[in-house]
Amino acid sequence: MDIPGFDGLLVTPEHPEYEASRAVWNGVIDRRPAVIARCTNTSDVAAAIRFARQRDLIISVRGGGHGVSGAAMNNGGLVVDCSGMKAITVDPQMRVARAEAGVLWGEFDAATQAYGLATTGGIVTHTGIAGLTLGGGIGWLMRKFATTADNLIGADVVTAGGERLRASEDENEDLFFGLRGAGANFGVVTSFEYRLHELGPTVLAGPVVWALEDAPEVLRFLRDFAIEAPDELTTIAKVGKLPPLPIIPEELRGRPFVQIGSCWAGRPDDGEIALKPLRAFGRPLLDLVAEKPYVANQAANDPTVPHGWHYYWKSTDITGLEDGAIDGIVEHATAIESPRSYALIFQLGGALARIDEDATAYSHRSAAFNVNINGVWLPDEPIAEQEIAWTRGFFDALEPWQAGVYVNFLGEEGEARVRTAYGEAKYGRLVALKDRFDPDNVFRMNQNITPSH
């Protein structure tokens, strides 16, 4: 097989690297594309798109390959694989970073932290910058610096027609609106330019852990604590079973728990004062809050979500931690069977909420929290149906408080859920953009905005 104008590597089913190349983070995904086009530059991306369109091949786009839905792969089509495009440049005077589409957050953070700079990124280092940014991007710095997409200054895009565009506040501003929250629908972004902020290299961060039986009181504390929290503090609560990590005492491993993780995006001394009520609450099993390298905190979750495990997600934004919502969370946390399944409760608000709702495609800025429910099992464990049922039941229990959904946490859930991610008015605006930039729905292996015709 030959693609005119393509200088990268073409991986077909006969290639010795095919099996490794088609693997993505979520081990549930088992798809067999006809060709994986490993791109080295923007010209390769454009050539691969042209080739696929000429042959009517479905197109997937791979950056980090971390999306739970597995949209980076398809059956029988072509994968525009940008995972090898890794260039990063940092301008510490302008506080700007430019990174190509294959960069992972661990790589990005290492490059920017060399200058004591950062922007809001993922909470797992092997997440790709591309998918996270194009869906919005929530993480440890969001309440201080808003979402990843809010820190996007510009993007280089290859459209479905092979055209190369620059999108920013000054160029193709309507496309720039769509890229910041629904970006996978409008083209392949080959490079991203971000605004950076002074942070690190050391931050005050880490979880405080309690026994799960204390969860009702802990989550009610979190509800009140979050309301008063300054922007510098972002918390992410978690329920599950304590993993067998070196930092966890052996006698606690496997024990059901609730924790409130934190990251203070400011002076550690100020963080010590702000976190004092949290660390003093109740009867903690562990207090792992400490000054540590920002990059270490970013990597703290990595061992609990490795490549190749099987993942099933359901997620929703919620209006608040009302008593009924807390009761539902505790009930389903108590019912966790897999030692790997868990749920996260992201504290939203702060800077993220003060940006106008219509400024970007990223939506539901007024939501108080996001709940991300993760059914997780090993490839050889016959518990998939059990964990999927648990995840769905947990999600259904939160129905009275649901207030939208974060698009990056969606699995393959259909058009109605994609509409829920944006709301009807904004979804209509995105359809108009889709009609303009991808009327043939070439880019449909994603949380798809369907063209109007």
> Which helix (H) or strand (E) is 395 found in, with range?
helix 384-397
Contact 75, 33 (CB under 8 A): yes
Determine the length of the chain. 453
Nearest to 202 by CA among 120, 116, 126, 124: 116
Question: How far apart, in Å, do the first and last CA atoms of the chain sit?
Answer: 33
Whole-number Å distance between alpha carbons of 338 and 388? 11
Report which DSSP code applies to 447.
Answer: S
Q: Which residues of the chain have pLDDT under 70?
A: none
Intrachain domains 9-81 and 202-409 with the same fold:
no
Instruction: Give the global pTM.
Output: 0.97
Whole-number Å distance between alpha carbons of 410 and 408? 6
Whole-number Å distance between alpha carbons of 207 and 224? 18
Whole-number Å distance between alpha carbons of 135 and 88? 21
What fold is seen in the domain 88-199?
3.30.465
* Chain CA centroid to CA 190, Å: 18
Q: Which CATH class is domain 9-81?
A: alpha beta
Nearest to 142 by CA among 365, 372, 373, 402: 365
Whole-number Å distance between alpha carbons of 100 and 129? 9
Report which DSSP code applies to 216.
Answer: H
**202-409 in CATH: which number?**
3.40.462.20
* Chain CA centroid to CA 220, Å: 26
pLDDT (tens digit per residue) in 49-97: 999 999 999 999 999 999 999 999 999 999 999 999 999 999 999 999 9
Whole-number Å distance between alpha carbons of 241 and 263? 22
Determine the pLDDT at residue 453: 82
Order across the sheet with 59-62: list the strands. 9-11, 35-38, 78-81, 59-62
Please state whether 248 falls in left (phi above 0), alpha (psi between -120 and 50) or beta.
beta
What type of residue is 337?
A: E
3-state secondary structure 143-179: HHHCCCHHHEEEEEEECCCCCEEEEECCCCHHHHHHH
How are beta strands 78-81 and 35-38 bridged, if at all?
parallel
**Any idea where the domains of the chain sit in the sequence?**
9-81, 88-199, 202-409
Nearest to 395 by CA among 381, 382, 385, 405: 405
**Three-state DSSP class for 93?**
coil
The CA radius of gyration of the chain, in Å to the nearest whole number, is 21
Whole-number Å distance between alpha carbons of 109 and 393? 36
Contact 430, 185 (CB under 8 A): yes
Contact 397, 336 (CB under 8 A): no
